[in-house]
């Protein structure tokens, strides 16, 4: 059955034959080639309803963001370190409750890619 928004997130291991075809990528090596123009006044990411995160059992945002923008604070609330965002767009589709607001950073701000 197809997964609907709001369904519990169920992580699945990839089969070994598929894993072997995926090249190893070291994200840290890629990140050092990026340049950030941080907008200190306005975040382009936000949690729409913090209460929704409380009932999100697996909190996949803690895993799917390649640069760890989403973390849990001491009170169990999701924190958003938008300054580190590389604008991959994963959180627009991977939050099971569509609870992450996302827009492009304002003009002149955001991440700059050296090779693209």
Binding site for ligand SF4 (CB under 6 A): 45, 47, 52-53, 56, 59-61, 65-67, 69-70, 78, 85-91, 95, 97, 99-100
Q: Rounded CA gap, 95 and 90, in Å? A: 8
Quick check: 9 and 58 in contact, CB under 8 A? yes
Name the residue nearer to ligand SF4 (CB basis): 36 or 97.
Answer: 97
Closest approach of Cβ 112 to ligand SF4, in Å?
14
Reported as type and span, the H/E element at residue 90 is helix 90-94
Q: Rounded CA gap, 20 and 25, in Å? A: 13
Closest approach of Cβ 16 to ligand SF4, in Å?
27
Name the residue nearer to ligand SF4 (CB basis): 14 or 34.
Answer: 34
Name the residue nearer to ligand SF4 (CB basis): 30 or 59.
Answer: 59
Name the residue nearer to ligand SF4 (CB basis): 20 or 32.
Answer: 32
Phi, psi of 93, rounded to the nearest 5 degrees: -120, -20
Residue nearest to ligand SF4 (CB): 56
- Residue 70, strand partner residues: 80
């Amino acid at each position: 059955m197809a997964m609907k928004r709001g369904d519990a997130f169920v992580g699945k291991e990839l089969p070994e034959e598929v894993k072997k075809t995926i090249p190893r990528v070291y994200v840290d090596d890629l990140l050092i080639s990026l340049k950030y123009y941080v907008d200190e006044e306005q975040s382009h990411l936000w949690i729409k309803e913090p209460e929704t995160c409380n009932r999100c059992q697996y909190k996949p945002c803690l895993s799917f963001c390649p640069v760890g923008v989403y973390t849990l604070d001491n009170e169990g609330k999701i924190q958003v370190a938008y300054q580190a965002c590389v604008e991959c767009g994963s959180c627009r589709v991977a939050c099971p409750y569509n609870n992450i607001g996302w827009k492009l950073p304002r003009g002149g701000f955001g991440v700059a890619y050296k090779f693209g």
